[in-house]
A and B are shown apart, each in its own frame.
Chain A
């Protein structure tokens, strides 16, 4: 091929994030000498408008046909720069990034070796860039329908929003009724509104919405396809059915921490010891323990939360306010009862929470700082033994009702569901969002979104907010009516392919088949997810994944395997080193 690369290299200071540890100037100058490079520049913030303009001008002025930016992780800014280059009609796939921040300047000291590493990474990117090929992104139509897994408050809210927006929604609930954990609550904080009031309305709407199909006692058994066009198998009672949807929202909820895992608290041993969910039930009838009204009630917070020893290092976010609410209820129902709350930190962070906490104390609830160590039986009562860390003294509090504020845990079946949907999980075991800040409801799987406590502990308000957020994000492909098909997929070289079919046997997505007559393999770009396992399986190098081809990777290897301190070859005449900053 007569193509000669004209590569522009752009090295970012990222303020001082890179410049403080990497000699950006040296990298820029070194890059200028690399084969194919016609211009090499550095700038404070390549991602800023002027930074992007710099690149765009060079593409126009110097006729660049390949661009390399050395800055942060491609996971951060690749889309930004791809958009920038395509804005001036350079194919976005003719762009390559060198990750000299996350994987270089941020993890190494300011030293020659760090700069050398940066040079290698840039060289590697340049070598790959020289071999990059323009690719076309295709659009595929989407099925204007959604699947919601889980019939709790999150699932229902998400389903309703999508249905209200005019799309068919299938809601799959494992149990026989809608409502999830919220259905078990008596009243909500901080308004003390009866749960039934708010939940009832939602369940009512969900069950009667014209575009919302509720399947109870149902579960998803298989998920195929991809964003915009998922094929879902659902086992519904005894029959199996298949639905096609464009987006999937996971709202599978959480499990309650099993207080037996803290045996020193006597749950399951002393009838006087119950959990917060159990109190929700109790508080709906007359509050009696062992047939009599409790006179001394003690709440213990952080049972199964903030507990590294039990693998629950995280805060369950709701217990503080659940406790405050229940303590208030006890004061209302049993005006003569003494109510004590043992806490480590009171986390009243939500709207109206601190005020509610104030009101709870004003109602006569005694808050004592300390994490009770054990419960023991003394006569017909139990004794809570703790240190009041503010008195600095060990204390014993007699109680005839002890309520353990149990935390939220990932559902036991999270694994199974994760496998089914190919979802990643955070270290705390909950489903992992695509980005904790800016993509809190997306997952790594395009078209699959998270709602509610399956992503991490949340109260009702946050759950609903997040459910609606998931709904909005899921609606985007549905409303657009199309999704962009991955361009970096596998491609078969018919000249080289011997049709051995090893690729087909290894492909998870059934993207490869034997051509009926040619005796070579054929790849289906829509099914192909671009993992590249096929390319590895092919001994003759007949299959390549676009944008990650054998030649491109080998070119990178050739650069990075050469650990000699980078040699400065005199920059070719037309190459230009420039530093506007």
Chain B
């Protein structure tokens, strides 16, 4: 019996989507988005398009970094204005 990796990648993407939508704190969501990107890259590599896999790994990395910079900046502004406990 052989378990192909496509099923593991499908579970990876569904768990990443459900966790990314249903978590409430913004910092918890980034980790689930990283899991979603891992599933996408593994499905692309199973198709055999390796150049697309390299480029998409770079793009998910850049997207996560940009969102984290935005989140830290928003929290700093809220702390500066005294709205955060």
Answer whether A and B are interacting partners. Answer: no
